[in-house]
């Protein structure tokens, strides 16, 4: 658990710290790049590097199967969640605004958002859930981040 918490801190330092470092001196708003130069500096490089870090840790632990494949079946109706997410993205995307920025910006933005999704899924859904499960957390408690009640110790009076 301590190692996972340390990894989360390092992950956040890379994403936030490197983004701040690379955008120093640029007149840009947080998480609102308007040019390719701002986009790659604030999102693409920091998040891409964090994905590389998490992938390296998973490889070092040899946990790829546990991280990317869950043997516990889920209800079939849950397929609606990614379908609704995709529909939402397609509906709310400002296509005119993307066209104004150019194809290069749009492609880099797509790549950057895929990095964000991959990084968060590998780090928290994949590695985090695997760490919590291997430390005795029940499924419900994995979702809440709390160990099972048998893991709590009675405080001394």
Residue 147: predicted pLDDT: 58
Residue 88: predicted pLDDT: 95
Residue 146: predicted pLDDT: 59
What percentage of residues in the chain have a pLDDT greater than 70?
A: 89
Residue 156: predicted pLDDT: 38
Intervals of the chain under pLDDT 70: 31, 139, 143-157
DSSP string, the chain: -HHHHHHHHHHHIIIIIIHHHHHTTS--BTTB--SHHHHIIIIIHHHHHHHHHHHHHHHHHT-HHHHH---S---GGGGHHHHHHHHHHHHH--HHHHHHH-HHHHHHHHHHHHHHHHHHIIIIIIIIHHHHHHTT--HHHHHHT---GGGPPPPP-
Residue 154: predicted pLDDT: 37
């Amino acid at each position: 658990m301590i190692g996972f918490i340390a990894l989360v801190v390092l992950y956040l330092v890379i994403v936030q710290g490197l983004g701040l470092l690379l955008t120093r001196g640029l007149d840009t708003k947080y998480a609102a790049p308007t040019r390719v130069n701002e986009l790659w500096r604030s999102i693409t490089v920091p998040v891409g590097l964090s994905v590389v870090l998490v992938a390296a840790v998973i490889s070092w632990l040899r946990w790829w199967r546990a991280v990317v494949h869950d043997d516990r079946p889920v209800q079939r109706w849950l397929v609606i969640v990614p379908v609704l997410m995709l529909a939402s993205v397609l509906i709310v995307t400002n296509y005119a605004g993307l066209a104004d920025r150019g194809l290069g910006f749009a492609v880099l933005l797509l790549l950057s958002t895929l990095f964000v999704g991959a990084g968060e899924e590998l780090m928290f859904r994949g590695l985090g859930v695997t760490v919590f499960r291997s430390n005795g957390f029940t499924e419900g408690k994995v979702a809440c981040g709390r160990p099972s009640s048998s893991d709590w110790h009675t405080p001394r009076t």
